[in-house]
Chains A and B, each alone.
Chain A
Amino acid sequence: MIDSMRDTLFGYGDTGIVVWTVLKILAIAVPVIIAVAMFVYWERKVIGWMHVRMGPNQIGPLGLLQAFADVFKLLFKEVILPANSNKVLYYLAPMIALVPAFAAWSVIPFDAGLVLANVNVGLLLLLAMTSLGVYGIILAGWASNSRYAMLGAMRAAAQTVSYEIAMGFALVSVMIMTGSLNLTDIVLAQQGSKGFFDWYWLPLLPMFVIYFISGVAETNRAPFDVAEGESEIVAGFHVEYSGSAFAIFFLAEYANMILIAFLASVLFMGGWLSPLQGWINADVPWVDWLWKGGWQWTFIKAFMFSFFYLWFRASFPRYRYDQIMRLGWKVFIPITIVWVVAAACMKYYGIVTIGA
Chain B
Amino acid sequence: MTFELVCFYFFGAVAALAALAVISVKNPVVAALNLVLTFFSMACVWLLAQAEFLAVALVLVYVGAVMVLFLFVVMMLDVDFAPVREGFVRFLPVGIVVAVVMLVEMLMMIGVRSLQVPVSADPAALAGMSNMGWLGRTLFRDFLLPFEVAALILTVGLIAAIPLTLRKRSGIKTQNPGRQVMVKREDRIRLVKMDAVKKGEATP
- Chain A hits for B59, CB < 8 A: 128, 131-132
- Chain B hits for A138, CB < 8 A: 68, 71-72, 75
Q: How far is the CA of A14 from the CA of B7 in the complex (A)?
A: 15
A157 with B60: CB separation less than 8 A: no
Q: How far is the CA of A142 from the CA of B29 in the complex (A)?
A: 9
Whole-angstrom distance from the CB of A94 to the nearest CB of chain B? 15
B56 with A128: CB separation less than 8 A: yes
Interface residues of A in 135-152 (CB under 8 A from B): 135, 138-139, 142, 150
- Tell whether A124 pairs with B53 under 8 Å between CB atoms, given A131-B60, A131-B65, A132-B59: yes
A120 with B132: CB separation less than 8 A: yes
Whole-angstrom distance from the CB of A306 to the nearest CB of chain B? 24
Residue ID in chain A nearest B29 by CB atoms? A142
Is residue B146 contacting chain A, with contact meaning CB distance below 8 A? Answer: no
Q: How far is the CA of A139 from the CA of B52 in the complex (A)?
A: 28
Q: How large is the interface on A (under 10, 10 to 19, 20 to 34, 35 or more residues)?
A: 20 to 34
Interface residues of A in 144-197 (CB under 8 A from B): 150, 153-154, 157-158, 160-161, 164, 181
Is residue A134 contacting chain B, with contact meaning CB distance below 8 A? Answer: yes
Is residue A125 contacting chain B, with contact meaning CB distance below 8 A? Answer: yes
Is residue A326 contacting chain B, with contact meaning CB distance below 8 A? Answer: yes
- Chain B hits for A153, CB < 8 A: 75
Q: How far is the CA of A131 from the CA of B64 in the complex (A)?
A: 5
Residue ID in chain A nearest B177 by CB atoms? A326
B53 with A150: CB separation less than 8 A: no
- Chain A hits for B76, CB < 8 A: 154
- Chain B hits for A158, CB < 8 A: 72
Whole-angstrom distance from the CB of A236 to the nearest CB of chain B? 15
Partner of A121, one of B27, B30, B56, B69: B56
Whole-angstrom distance from the CB of A6 to the nearest CB of chain B? 19
Is residue A283 contacting chain B, with contact meaning CB distance below 8 A? Answer: no
Residue ID in chain B nearest A153 by CB atoms? B75
Partner of B36, one of A119, A120, A135, A150: A135
Whole-angstrom distance from the CB of A281 to the nearest CB of chain B? 34
A124 with B56: CB separation less than 8 A: yes
- Chain B hits for A164, CB < 8 A: 64-65
Is residue B155 contacting chain A, with contact meaning CB distance below 8 A? Answer: no
Interface string of B27-50 (1 = CB under 8 A from A): 101100100100000000000000
Is residue A127 contacting chain B, with contact meaning CB distance below 8 A? Answer: yes
Is residue B15 contacting chain A, with contact meaning CB distance below 8 A? Answer: no
B60 with A127: CB separation less than 8 A: yes
Whole-angstrom distance from the CB of A86 to the nearest CB of chain B? 8
Q: How far is the CA of A132 from the CA of B40 in the complex (A)?
A: 10
Is residue B24 contacting chain A, with contact meaning CB distance below 8 A? Answer: no
- Chain B hits for A181, CB < 8 A: 132
Chain B contact residues, CB within 8 Å of chain A: 3, 27, 29-30, 33, 36, 52-53, 56-57, 59-60, 63-65, 68-69, 71-72, 75-76, 130-132, 175, 177
| 22 pairs, A vs B, C-beta closer than 8 Å | A86-B27, A89-B33, A120-B130, A121-B53, A121-B56, A124-B53, A124-B60, A127-B60, A128-B59, A128-B60, A128-B63, A131-B59, A131-B65, A132-B59, A134-B64, A134-B68, A135-B36, A135-B68, A138-B68, A138-B72, A161-B65, A322-B177
Chain A contact residues, CB within 8 Å of chain B: 14, 86, 89, 119-121, 124-125, 127-128, 131-132, 134-135, 138-139, 142, 150, 153-154, 157-158, 160-161, 164, 181, 322-323, 326
